[in-house]
């Protein structure tokens, strides 16, 4: 089984030949952002292959950049550099409990609920809903 090393974390895992590089990242505990569900559309799981051979489908960029979700390992050691270290974000997923672990700092929400008042429509005034906000 080939050894896959993730930098800058210096984490190495063994994974069978032909397995997805994304699975190696998960086994290594390396968080990989895959909002597209691993279909290779979002580009969020971009990494740089520094050494070793991989079989990349879809996007292959300059300097050995590939998508974790679209790349399988060959039967040789591979060293990968993460292009974004997601551990720098506040909060991590705990596999044992299935819950998010948050740092002690309070998180500010990305979405905030607002109550808006819109005047009722009047036939013939030509105003859109957006134009009727009070």
Q: How far apart are CA 36 and CA 95, in angstroms?
A: 21
Instruction: State residue 101's pLDDT score.
Output: 53
pLDDT in tens, 50-84: 999 899 987 777 788 899 999 999 999 999 998 75
What is the residue-averaged pLDDT of the chain? 80
Q: Is the pLDDT of residue 38 over 80?
A: yes
Which band of pLDDT confidence, cut at 50, 70 and 90, is reported for residue 15? very high
State the DSSP code for 41: S
Specify burial of residue 132 (Cβ count, 10 A radius: 0-12, 13-18, 19+).
middle
Instruction: State residue 89's pLDDT score.
Output: 41
Q: How far apart are CA 79 and CA 10, in angstroms?
A: 9
């Amino acid at each position: 089984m080939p050894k896959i090393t993730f930098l800058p974390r210096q984490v190495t895992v063994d994974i069978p030949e032909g397995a997805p590089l994304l699975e190696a990242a998960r086994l290594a505990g390396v968080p990989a952002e895959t909002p597209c569900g691993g279909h290779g559309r979002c580009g969020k799981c971009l990494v740089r292959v520094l050494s070793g051979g991989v079989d990349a489908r879809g996007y292959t960029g300059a300097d050995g950049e590939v998508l974790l979700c679209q790349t399988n390992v060959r039967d040789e050691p591979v060293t990968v550099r993460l292009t974004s270290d997601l551990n720098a974000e506040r909060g991590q997923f705990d596999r044992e409990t299935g819950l998010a672990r948050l740092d002690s700092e309070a998180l500010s929400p990305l979405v905030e609920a607002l109550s808006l008042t819109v005047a009722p429509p009047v036939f013939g005034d030509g105003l859109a809903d957006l134009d009727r906000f009070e």
